[in-house]
Amino acid sequence: MPRVHDAACRGAGGSWYHVAHFLVAAVDGVPAAALCTMPASGTVVAARAAIEEVAAETGVDADGIVARGSYARSCWVQGGEGDWLIEHVANESPHRGGGLVQALIGRALADGKAAGYSRASISFLIGNDVAERCYAKAGFGFAEEKRDAAFEALTGAPGFRRFARGM
């Protein structure tokens, strides 16, 4: 049976890129799947602060980092300010179809409900049919999508789709 655990202490780090916001499923002591989960409120501000912190520590231009990600702004969907977000879902190939992501989503939803949230959102690239089926299986349904031709020219995906569900 896979073990689902926090990657680090909850509550540390404001950015959704911080390890504190990840749940990890391990098989035989080896990470096999993971996702990020946190409140939607303030994520953009927190991400910018994290970029600025890393930039200051490494001597890289923060505005340059932000500019590199600007290609996704026109079609990014994130959920409402009152939503519990689930993002950055990953599953190692040998463990796909084994229920790890469903277990992680279940834990993420329980954490969100315990924190007082009544709705969760999850977004993914349009055309990622495996992700769409997985999230539908977890009870999520279509909420919105945004498309952008320039984004598609750069990435091959027409944009982002967001699913949502009650807790």
- DSSP assignment of 5-41 equals EESS-TT--SSTTSGGGEEEEEETTEEEEEEEEEEST
Residue 102 is encoded by which pair of tokens?
């469903």
Domains in the chain, start-ordered, CATH in brackets? 3-122 (3.40.630.30)
pLDDT at residue number 70: 82
- DSSP assignment of 99-151 equals SHHHHHHHHHHHHHHHTT--EEEEEEETT-HHHHHHHHHTT-EEEEEEE-HHH
What is the pTM assigned to this prediction? 0.83
Q: How far apart are CA 121 and CA 139, in angstroms?
A: 11
pLDDT at residue number 127: 97
Averages of pLDDT over each 10 residues, the chain, 167 residues: 44 59 91 91 78 86 85 80 91 92 97 95 96 97 95 94 96
Nearest to 146 by CA among 162, 130, 122: 162
Q: How many C-alpha atoms does 90 have within 13 Å on its Cβ side?
A: 10
- In the chain, what is the greatest distance between 2 CA atoms, to the nearest angstrom? 45
- β-strand pairing of 84-91 with 119-125: parallel
Nearest to 142 by CA among 118, 117, 160: 160
